[in-house]
Amino acid sequence: MSERMKGKIALVTGAARGIGEAIARAFVDEGARVVLTDIDDAAGQAAAERLGSAARYQRLDVREADDWDEAIEGVLTNEGRLDVLVNNAGITGFEQGMVAHDPEHAELADWRAVHATNLDGVFLGCRAAIRAMRPSGQGSIINIASRSGQVGIPGAAAYASSKAAVRNHSKTVALYCAEQGLAIRCNAIFPAAILTPMWEPMLGDGPEREARMAEFVADCPLRRFGRPEEVAALAVMLASDEASYMTGAELIIDGGMLAGTATPSVDLGPKE
């Protein structure tokens, strides 16, 4: 524990499990006080308790402006200020089963549900954070986007669209804060194939699970899923003062998938 975030106050959305919980844990390990938020109260409270006295849980539905107002008021009242916000809460749309999410068959209600959490939630979070951080004139906003926001995903149109919008909104927030003369930085992390509960509907729990896992990472040069703590390490860096000159940046953690396709080496014969 190097305490790279000593004394900082952070709020993490979607922190009951997966990447959000891993980020909250990493922040606490680095000396921060963390407010974990989620809509799964039981899991969120349990996650906060596991992290000890430096963490607490507060319910926050990122889709609701009133919830954001209440959450930020709670942070300012109990912790005194907000230094770091991680907009992590997100859904794929497959949580309730493998319904159609392609551009031809997706239902409008399903499309809107994904965007309400993934995009509206990020907009509301960024807006709330800027207002909370303005008095100190500084802070770090970290938006969890996705590789799916940089490429087309035929079977997950809403998810890809929402994460692409998060990508652009992060840059807009970064430029706006700089224009305002604020040292409030906004950066985005783009994970892919990180093994979290979000993958459960796609992987299943039957005997074919391992085969499905292998299929999903077949295009990944590292041939494995990433771990939530590997994403958390990037969040720590962006939240810390080490990244004071980084804003509007994109950090990709995808096992090399966006780098391209590995080409087998060619034997050119003996070299003279």
Query: Strands 84-87 and 9-12, how do they pair?
Result: parallel
184-201 residue pLDDT tens: 999 999 999 898 877 676
- Nearest by Cα to 131 from 62, 86, 73: 73
Q: Is residue 67 part of a domain?
A: yes
Between 197 and 90, name the one with better pLDDT: 90
Is residue 110 within 8 A of residue 101, CB to CB? The reply is yes
Task: Identify the pLDDT of residue 210.
Answer: 82
140-155 residue pLDDT tens: 999 999 999 999 999 9
Q: Is the pLDDT of residue 272 over 70?
A: no
Reported residue count of the chain is 272
Domain CATH for 37: 3.40.50.720
Q: Is residue 206 part of a domain?
A: no
Q: Is the pLDDT of residue 266 over 70?
A: no
Those residues whose C-beta lies under 8 Å from the C-beta of residue 203, and which sit 6 or more positions away, are: 209, 212, 213, 216
Q: Is residue 269 part of a domain?
A: no
Is residue 166 within 8 A of residue 263, CB to CB? The reply is no
Tally of domains within the chain: 1
Q: Is residue 223 part of a domain?
A: no
Write phi, then psi, for 47 (nearest 5 degrees): -65, -40
pLDDT band at 208 (very low <50, low <70, confident <90, very high): confident
* Residues annotated as part of the active site: 159
Between 208 and 35, name the one with better pLDDT: 35
Task: Identify the pLDDT of residue 265.
Answer: 58
pLDDT band at 202 (very low <50, low <70, confident <90, very high): low
Q: Is residue 270 part of a domain?
A: no
230-259 residue pLDDT tens: 999 999 999 999 999 999 999 999 999 999
Q: Is residue 24 part of a domain?
A: yes
* Residues spanned by the domain of 43: 9-198+228-253
58-84 residue pLDDT tens: 999 999 999 999 999 999 999 999 999
Those residues whose C-beta lies under 8 Å from the C-beta of residue 163, and which sit 6 or more positions away, are: 90, 118, 145, 146, 148, 149
Q: Is the pLDDT of residue 268 over 60?
A: no
94-144 residue pLDDT tens: 887 768 899 999 999 999 999 999 999 999 999 999 999 999 999 999 999
Q: Is residue 210 part of a domain?
A: no
Four-residue CA torsion sign, 113, 173, 251, 24: negative
Write phi, then psi, for 263 (nearest 5 degrees): -100, 130
**Is the pTM for the entire model greater than 0.85?**
yes
Q: Is residue 221 part of a domain?
A: no
Residues 211-227 have a mean pLDDT of 86
